[in-house]
Amino acid sequence: MNVVILAAGQGKRMHSDLPKVLQPLAGRPLLAHVIDTASSLKPGVICIVYGYGGERVREVIARPGLVWARQEPQLGTGHALAQALPYLNPRTPTLVLYGDVPLIRAATLSSLCQKAGKGVALLTVELDDAHGYGRIIRSRGKIKRIVEEKDATRAERALREINTGIMVLPTARLKGWLAGLRNKNAQQEYYLTDVVAAAVADMVPVSSAQPAAAWETLGVNSKAQLAELERIFQRQTAAALMQHGVTLADPARIDVRGSLACGRDVSIDVNCVFEGEVVLGEGVSVGAHCVLKNVKVAAGTRIEPFCHLDQADIGARCRIGPYARLRPGTTLAEEVHIGNFVEVKASQIAARSKANHLAYVGDTTVGRDVNIGAGTITCNYDGANKHRTIIEDDVHIGSDTQLVAPVRVGKGATLGAGTTLTKDAPGGALTISRAKQVTVPGWRRPVKKK
Ligand code: UD1
Ligand code: CA
């Protein structure tokens, strides 16, 4: 089979510099969703007709195996399909999809293709408000033609069965049908929909099929419709997660912009956002208002509310947050505790180590059973270069300590509170840098002069 995705339209009503088909749904361009669905049908050719936004669309989508046909100027959907024709295999049927109809499901398309056989098949739906769509004109039940809203008579406008735009066509016939299109209509466009009357005239059977759900065929013309489709998509994702056994505090308040794989008994509180590839192991719980991007979390770990985790690999039975920030390159072994207002970047932290309050751990290797006191800062940046800090096993670091990298703290060392460490601290000993505490006898507070 050939698939042609029409994606040359401008999308004026989006009021955006970003071409319509690149507007994101669940974090990915509308067109990428359509390409994914098309690919799942394993067609011989996927041809994208592009135009508005030009090379930018090609650059952003950039996937091997796609065929691109440029349509310039855009003279209508029939003219658009004609641009793809040279790239199609005439011996197999052609499925036409729209780049701005992202929720269409593969199962619906398969049954449409089956319906078509060697003829034409249209995906149609009945709408209470059919305004703006092409209407399906039947006579004694048989499809005769499609009339566009702007060309329709009042009686035709009253019809509720509409053309979704998705159709299957016999490719070998297309050349003749498309060459025969005329633009003598209200929009002075070459309508793809006019091939239906041509097929009927040529005695080619025209059938129709309906999608399992009407929302599959919704298109995006405005930001309001984009938001509506986003909600539908997220509701479907939430339903699939629950089907799989995930506990969602509220399926209406989760956003998955990528893939979220969950083990058994995972629970997710409200308003969490998952981006890229996220994997949550068995029994993981995620508190309210967390953002997880490209994160792996091993079994039994608890993520408290308000955490921001980006490109981190988190071990089993850890406790993260509330209000923790894990930045790219963070690896935590099992039973690590990262508490409130702690930021970790490009660091490896071994088993059972803790940084529970107000700390920055950057470019650091932390051993096991280490305790990092409140207010500890690794000073990893000298204004020009980044340097590493090594903290070996069983180290205790007192509060408000600065470790000026590059620096190493030996196994079992203790650093006194308030230390500014500029040289390596030997293992097994107390190292402290602190101004001596003095008390001035007889000192008086100044008093205000009268
Ligand atoms: C089209 C159908 C209409 C159907 C409706 C469903 C025609 C003539 N009409 O109308 O029957 O009910 O879709 O939404 O086909 N495009 C191009 N090049 C062009 C024109 C359009 O690539 O020159 C692409 C657009 O980017 C879009 C799709 O084709 O993805 C549909 O175009 P649009 O202008 O939205 O068609 P409608 O007038 O809504
Ligand atoms: Ca449209």
CATH code, domain with 403: 2.160.10.10
Q: What is the pLDDT of residue 436?
A: 92
What letter does residue 359 receive in the DSSP assignment?
A: E
In a domain, 405, yes or no: yes
pLDDT of 58 over the 90 cut: yes
* Spatial separation of the C-alpha atoms in residues 52 and 72, rounded to whole Å: 8
| C-alpha 218 – ligand 2 centre gap (Å) | 9
Residues 167 and 196 in one domain: yes
Query: For 289-298, what is the mean pLDDT?
Result: 98
Segments forming the whole domain that contains residue 186:
2-217
Residues 200 and 242 in one domain: no
In short, whether 71's Cβ falls inside 6 Å of ligand 1 is yes
Residues 60 and 206 in one domain: yes
Q: What is the pLDDT of residue 361?
A: 98
Which pair of structure tokens corresponds to residue 282?
């068995």
Residue closest to 365 by CA, chosen among 395, 325, 385: 395
Collapsing DSSP states into helix, strand and coil, what is residue 413? Answer: coil
In a domain, 175, yes or no: yes
C-alpha distance across the termini of the chain, in Å: 96
In short, whether 75's Cβ falls inside 6 Å of ligand 1 is yes
Q: Which of 77, 122, 190 to mutate to test the pocket of ligand 1 (most atoms within 8 A of CB)?
A: 77
In short, whether 192's Cβ falls inside 6 Å of ligand 1 is yes
| C-alpha 206 – ligand 2 centre gap (Å) | 22
In a domain, 390, yes or no: yes
Which residues, 6 or more positions from 12, have their beta carbon under 8 angstroms from its beta carbon? none
Q: What is the pLDDT of residue 164?
A: 97
Q: What is the mean pLDDT of the chain?
A: 97
In a domain, 447, yes or no: no
Residues 249 and 212 in one domain: no
Number of separate domains in the chain = 2
In short, whether 401's Cβ falls inside 6 Å of ligand 1 is no
In a domain, 194, yes or no: yes
* Spatial separation of the C-alpha atoms in residues 121 and 112, rounded to whole Å: 6
Residues 231 and 190 in one domain: no
pLDDT of 13 over the 90 cut: no
pLDDT of 178 over the 90 cut: yes
| C-alpha 161 – ligand 2 centre gap (Å) | 16
Residues 353 and 252 in one domain: yes
Cα-trace Rg, the chain: 31
pLDDT of 347 over the 90 cut: yes
Q: Which ligand is nearest to the CA of 101?
A: 1
* Four-CA torsion 279, 282, 283, 288, nearest 10 degrees: 10
* Spatial separation of the C-alpha atoms in residues 387 and 380, rounded to whole Å: 5
Residues 250 and 341 in one domain: yes
Residues 202 and 162 in one domain: yes
**What is the number of the ligand 1 atom nearest to the C-alpha of 50?**
22
pTM of the predicted model as reported, rounded to 2 decimal places: 0.93
In short, whether 181's Cβ falls inside 6 Å of ligand 1 is no
Residues 201 and 243 in one domain: no
Q: Which ligand is nearest to the CA of 162?
A: 1
Residues 356 and 379 in one domain: yes
pLDDT digits (tens, 9 = 90+) for 351-404: 999 999 999 999 999 999 999 999 999 999 999 999 999 999 999 999 999 999
Question: Rounded to whole angstroms, what are the CA distances from 276 to 95, 237, 255, 314, 328?
Answer: 30, 14, 12, 16, 13
In short, whether 97's Cβ falls inside 6 Å of ligand 1 is no
Chosen domain end from 217, 240, 255: 217
pLDDT of 9 over the 90 cut: no
Chosen domain end from 153, 186, 217: 217
Atom 29 in ligand 1: residue holding the nearest Cα: 6
Q: What is the pLDDT of residue 338?
A: 98
pLDDT digits (tens, 9 = 90+) for 68-121: 999 999 999 999 999 999 999 999 999 999 999 999 999 999 999 999 999 999
* Spatial separation of the C-alpha atoms in residues 398 and 235, rounded to whole Å: 48
What letter does residue 253 receive in the DSSP assignment?
A: S
Are 314 and 292 in contact by the 8 Å Cβ rule? The answer is no
Q: How many CB atoms lie within 10 A of CB 253?
A: 16
pLDDT digits (tens, 9 = 90+) for 194-228: 999 999 999 999 999 999 999 999 999 999 999 99
In a domain, 443, yes or no: no
Q: What is the pLDDT of residue 52?
A: 80
Q: What is the pLDDT of residue 369?
A: 98
Atom 13 in ligand 1: residue holding the nearest Cα: 165
What letter does residue 449 receive in the DSSP assignment?
A: -
CATH number of the domain within which 93 lies: 3.90.550.10
Residues 264 and 405 in one domain: yes
Q: What is the pLDDT of residue 54?
A: 80
Q: What is the pLDDT of residue 372?
A: 98
Chosen domain end from 217, 237, 269: 217
Residues present in the chain in total: 450
Of all residues in the chain, the percent with pLDDT exceeding 70 is 100
Atom 34 in ligand 1: residue holding the nearest Cα: 9
In a domain, 285, yes or no: yes
Residues recognised as catalytic: 357
Collapsing DSSP states into helix, strand and coil, what is residue 52? Answer: coil
Banded pLDDT at 241 (limits 50, 70, 90): very high
* Stronger pLDDT, 54 or 263, i.e. the higher one: 263
**What is the number of the ligand 1 atom nearest to the C-alpha of 164?**
6
Banded pLDDT at 55 (limits 50, 70, 90): confident
Collapsing DSSP states into helix, strand and coil, what is residue 22? Answer: helix
Which pair of structure tokens corresponds to residue 372?
């990092």
In a domain, 195, yes or no: yes
Residues 66 and 201 in one domain: yes
In short, whether 195's Cβ falls inside 6 Å of ligand 1 is no
